[in-house]
Amino acid sequence: MQGMYAVYRKELGHYFVSPMAYVVIGIFILFCAFVFNYDTQAVILQSTQAQMQGMSMPMDLPGQVIQGFFMFLATMLLFVTPMLTMGIYAEERKRGTMELLMTSPITEIQIVLGKFFAAFTLFIAMLIPTLVPVTFLYFTSDPHMPVRIIACGYLGAILVGGSLIALGTFISSLTENQLIAAVLTFAVFLIIWIIDILGSPTGNSATVLGYFSVVRHFQDFARGVIDTSSLVYFASLMVFFVFLTVRSVDSMRWRRA
Amino acid sequence: MIEVKDLTKSYGQITAVDHISFGVNKGEILGFLGPNGAGKTTTMRILTGFMPATSGTASIAGFDVTNESLEVRRHIGYLPEAPPVYPDMSVESYLDFVARIKNVPAEKRRGRVDDAMAKTNLTDRRHELIKRLSRGYKQRVGIAQALVHDPDVIILDEPTVGLDPKQIIEVRHLIKSLAGNHTIILSTHILPEVSMTCDRVVIINKGRVAAVDTPQNLTSQLKGGLRVRVEARAPEAALKDLLVKVPGVKIVQIEGAHNDGHMIAMVEGTQGKDIRSEIAAGIVGKGWPLYELRGVSMSLEDIFLQLTTDDASHAQPAN
Could you write out the DSSP letters of every residue in B244-290? HHSTTEEEEEEEEE-TTS-EEEEEEE-TT---HHHHHHHHHHTTPPE
B144-174 pLDDT per residue, tens: 999 999 999 999 998 888 788 888 888 888 8
Q: Report the first-to-last Cα separation within chain A, whole angstroms.
A: 31
Give the residue extent of every domain in chain B.
Answer: 2-220, 224-297
The pTM (predicted TM-score) of the whole model is 0.82
Architecture of the structural domain at B224-297: 2-Layer Sandwich (3.30)
pLDDT at position A63 is 82
| A96 close contact with B: CB closer than 8 A | yes
pLDDT, chain B, mean:
84
Q: Which residues of A are less than 8 Å from B11 in CB distance?
A: 257
Question: Residue B317: what pLDDT?
Answer: 41
**Closest chain B residue to A107, measured at CA:** B70
**Taking a contact as any Cβ pair under 8 Å apart, which residues of chain B between 90 and 109 contact chain A?**
93, 97-98, 100-103
List, in sequence order, every beta strand (DSSP E) within chain A.
none
What is the ipTM score, two decimals? 0.85
Q: What is the pLDDT of residues B65-96, one digit of tens each?
A: 988 989 999 999 999 988 999 999 999 999 99
| Closest alpha carbon within chain A to B12 | A257
> Looking at A131-145, B97-111, B148-162, which range is the least confident one?
A131-145
Q: What percent of chain B has pLDDT over 70?
A: 89
Min Cα separation B74/chain A (Å)? 5
Residues of B in contact with A13 (CB under 8 A): 89, 93
Residue among A71, A65, A73 nearest A140 (CA): A65
Contact residues on chain B for A105, CB-CB shorter than 8 A: 70-71, 73-74, 101-103
pLDDT value of residue B288 = 87
Distance CA B294, CA B304 (A): 21
3-state secondary structure at position B60 = strand
Q: Which residues in A lie closer than 8 A to residue B71 (C-beta atoms)?
A: 105
- Under CATH, what is the fold of the domain B2-220? Rossmann fold (3.40.50)
Confirm or reject contact between A228 and chain B (CB < 8 A): no
Domain ranges of chain A: 2-255
Of how many residues is chain B composed? 319
Q: Which burial class, exposed, middle or buried, applies to B255 when counting CB atoms under 10 A from its CB (0-12, 13-18, 19+)?
A: middle
CA distance A247 to chain B (A): 15
